[in-house]
Amino acid sequence: MRKFAILLALTSASPAFAATGPFFSLGNTNFVVTIAFLIFIGFLVYLKVPGLLGRMLDKRADGIKSELDEARALREEAQTLLASYERKQKEVQEQADRIVTQARSEAANAAEQAKEDLKKSIERRLQAADEQIASAEAGAIKEVRDRAVTIAVAAAREVIAKQMTAAEGNKLIDEAIETVDAKLH
């Protein structure tokens, strides 16, 4: 490790020792490096490297500008599409609101119609019930009358049987047979 530190110190110190003496001398490394750098720059200018770099940079700038223009166009197109979709979304929302309003109106109409139908049904059922009551009442009255007739006939039979003699009964029977015979022929 110690040898490495000595080697490093010698190599790092040697360029500093080379720059001794007057500056404009070929023995001064700083002057030689400066001259070599200027010759290199002159060579680059002679080969028109700065113009080539400028054209490359201009070409790159034009590419970036065209990409920015394309990005602006895409952004404008995207904004147009967004506005279109927002407009369509608004139209769809309005249509949905109209559909909901219409559905509510139809539901209210259907409810009103159902109420009317229910009222009519109730009226029909009440009328049918009244008719059944009237029919039952008429049936009950008829039954009471039939019963009254049966009782009256039975009572009349008893009264007539008590008041009539056998000769009068035979006479009535003979008269009834003659009346039937006359009506049948």
pLDDT the model gives residue 6? 53
8 has a pLDDT exceeding 80: no
pLDDT over 50 at 7, yes or no: no
User: Could you tell me what percent of the chain has a pLDDT over 90?
Assistant: 55
CA–CA gap between residue 67 and residue 7 (Å, rounded)? 54
What pLDDT digit, counting tens, does each position of 131-170 carry? 999 898 888 888 888 888 888 878 877 777 777 777 777 8
Q: What is the pLDDT of residues 80-106, one digit of tens each?
A: 999 999 999 999 999 999 999 999 999
For the chain, what are the domain ranges?
48-179
pLDDT at 153: 79
Is residue 41 over pLDDT 70? yes
Whether the per-residue pLDDT at 5 is higher than 70: the answer is: no
